[in-house]
Chains A and B, each alone.
Chain A
Amino acid sequence: MPVSIIIQLIVDGLAMGLVYVLLASGFNLIMTVPKVLFIAYGEFYMLGAYVLWGLMFLGDVPFFPALCAATLATAILGGIVYRLIFQRIQYMEQQFLTNIIAALALSMIIAQAALLAFGTEARGMPSIFPGIVNIGGITISVEKIVLVALTLAVLIGLNIFLQKTNSGRAMRAVSFNADVAALQGVSANMTCLATMAVGCGLAGFAGGLMAPVFALSPGMGAITIFVLFVVMLGGIGSMVGAILAGLILGMTLSFGQFFIGSGLSQILFFVVIFIILYFRPGGLLGKAEADIPI
């Protein structure tokens, strides 16, 4: 087993895992601040990829402005959706299940709309950053390096935003207790709306980032299920946990695909989740309260 192949697999896993980390942090935000289990999340990832594709190939826009536009478009759509649907559910009884069902209906609508607009066939995109870098006999494509660098930059930026700015503090306050936050002059509704926009924007950004690497298809939204697992595995609301879980997923998939094939490696990942969640129901770094019975 040559070392270079192992290192390449690690880089692959890192690139794949970091995108899951990005998606999981957005999902985490939506889960902790407006407290919606947002199943339609994957559809926003898909929309981001298609917006980027559309702008670059139909509008001849360069990559970075197109990526910003994809982020912005999904963020605005997320805000609109929150205002129209989820804000009304916030004050209902049985809020948790109602939210899930509204989100599922939303994902049905978006997925079918995308299917009608873009067709069923998968669309490929030529590589944006062609070329490979050779470091001591290990070849890594420039694309993966850019992907890892951009993802890391956004993750660090998100963390600074949550910890140091007033809007970020407002989000954390609302996730802690919306009523107390309201007493301090923080509008829970506006904060939830902003969080939804930021979360959906992150999904769109991840979609735009992955568009040149993977083929586009309206079925991309099915990624939600993996995001859900990453969030649960890391523990709800835990950023470090999401990073750990995302890397576990990325490494399992990349090494598994190489050694035992894609189907078996997914089974392996689910078995790992099953075992970890059996012993730690709250996730790797989750709160111990999660095993308090209902």
Chain B
Amino acid sequence: MEKPRRTYRFKRIDTHNRKSIGIIVLVVILLLVPAVVHSPYYIHLLIMVGINAALAMTFIFLLRVGLINLSIAAFWGIGAYASAMLTMRLNLPFWLALPAATIITGIVALIVGLLLCRNSGFGFIIPTLAFASVVVLVFGTFDVFGGYVGIVNIPHPEPIVIPLLPLIEFTSKTPYYYLMLFLVAVVVTAFSAFYSASTGRAWRAIGLSSSLAESLGINLFRYRLTAFIIASAVCGLMGSFYAHYYSALVPITFTPFPKTIYCHIFAILGGIAFPFAGPAVGAFILTLTPEFLRIVGEIEPILTGLLVIVLVLFAPGGILGLLSSRQQVAHPSESIDRIGKWIKASLPTSRTDRENRK
């Protein structure tokens, strides 16, 4: 009776160890990158990879609940504009504006989510798209937000003192790189904590079968709303960082096409079954490829588009799905399949079919 349990424990600890060693090695490599890469341009690209990866993680986060979110870029923009407004109009320091912008984005998501999260499927997808378009138009139309010209000269973060380290001033790209790593680490930690908590299990149940989850006593609306607020607040956090890093904002950056769809592409090309590694790999490849293809000049978007099509046609499980030997039984891909099937089923059919289904 004792034996099988023991082997199980042993195996579990073993895989756990291997995984944590891998994570430690990865973190050390990421921390050492600025020591090897000196060009500010490549550091800039890596910072953008980090932002994109975090945004793509929020896509998978909501996909697990069974929602396809088209307002990622909009909430990213809300965070960025909120932070810019707070520092420029109210003269708040960046270190207060960062959490404040996150909270403001969360509050906006709460208000919008109260309307949106009652529906799912197209009833959720298209209103998020409408909301995202409204956000960009509002930023562009009203002069408070600088119009379509945008905002420039957003202040850089104030220097901070960390014990045992010299004074950190945000004059070069390297401090931003470390700040980005820290924020992404916070996001990954928070998301993985949620995934393994009871809330995460409820979300997973909703993503697999919402009617079954509802029958087990899970309040669909409340859980969807929570997930929507958390995902949007993370977008706002990355937006606030982006605003102060880039120090200029233009409304066009935050349009749902192509920015939000790009976030979806990052996640899907990396592999939907991998909630953290997938977006990171996808964002890494797709942010760097266009830059390296820039040598060929203006036909770069054509080559990138061809690359995406080839990847989609020949690596349907994503790049990581292609590489890993693990069987793809993880649930997010299942839930995507489910969404696809459901959308197929919700497309118009003849009356007899509908009656049969009832």
Q: Do A and B bind each other?
A: yes
Residues of A within 8 A of B (CB): 31-32, 35, 39, 85, 88-89, 92-98, 100-102, 104-106, 108-109, 111-113, 115-116, 175-177, 222, 224-225, 228-229, 232, 236-238, 263-264, 266-267, 270-271, 273-274, 277-278, 281-282, 287, 289-294
Q: Which A residues are CB-close (under 8 A) to B121?
A: 281, 290-294
CB within 8 Å of A: which B97-143 residues:
115-116, 118-124, 126-127, 129-131, 133-134, 137-138, 140-141
Query: Do the beta carbons of B210 and A96 come within 8 Å of each other?
Result: no
Size bracket of the B interface: 35 or more
Q: Whole-angstrom distance between the alpha carbons of A92 and B317 in the complex?
A: 10
- List the count of A-B residue pairs having beta carbons below 8 Å apart: 189
Query: Closest residue to A37 on the B side, CB-wise?
Result: B343
Q: Which of B19-27, B31-39, B169-177, B297-305 contacts A (4 or more CB under 8 A)?
A: B297-305
A112-B299, A112-B305 given as contacts; is B313 within 8 A of A85 (CB)?
yes
A104-B258, A271-B134, A274-B115 given as contacts; is B122 within 8 A of A236 (CB)?
yes
Q: Which B residues are CB-close (under 8 A) to A175?
A: 347-348
Q: Which B residues are CB-close (under 8 A) to A104?
A: 257-258, 261, 265, 308
Query: Do the beta carbons of B141 and A264 come within 8 Å of each other?
Result: yes
Choose one: A39, A116, A263, A291; the contact of B141 (CB below 8 Å). A263
Residues of B within 8 A of A (CB): 66, 68, 115-116, 118-124, 126-127, 129-131, 133-134, 137-138, 140-141, 207, 210-211, 214, 220, 256-258, 261, 264-265, 268-269, 272, 298-302, 304-306, 308-309, 312-313, 316, 333, 335-340, 342-350, 353-354, 357
17 contacts between A and B (CB under 8 A): A31-B347, A101-B308, A102-B308, A104-B261, A105-B305, A109-B302, A116-B298, A177-B353, A228-B129, A264-B141, A270-B131, A274-B115, A290-B123, A291-B119, A292-B346, A294-B120, A294-B121
A104-B265, A116-B298, A271-B134 given as contacts; is B308 within 8 A of A93 (CB)?
no
Q: Whole-angstrom distance between the alpha carbons of A237 and B346 in the complex?
A: 11
Query: Do the beta carbons of B211 and A274 come within 8 Å of each other?
Result: no
A112-B302, A176-B349, A278-B115 given as contacts; is B220 within 8 A of A98 (CB)?
no
The A interface is mostly helix, strand or loop, or mixed, namely helix
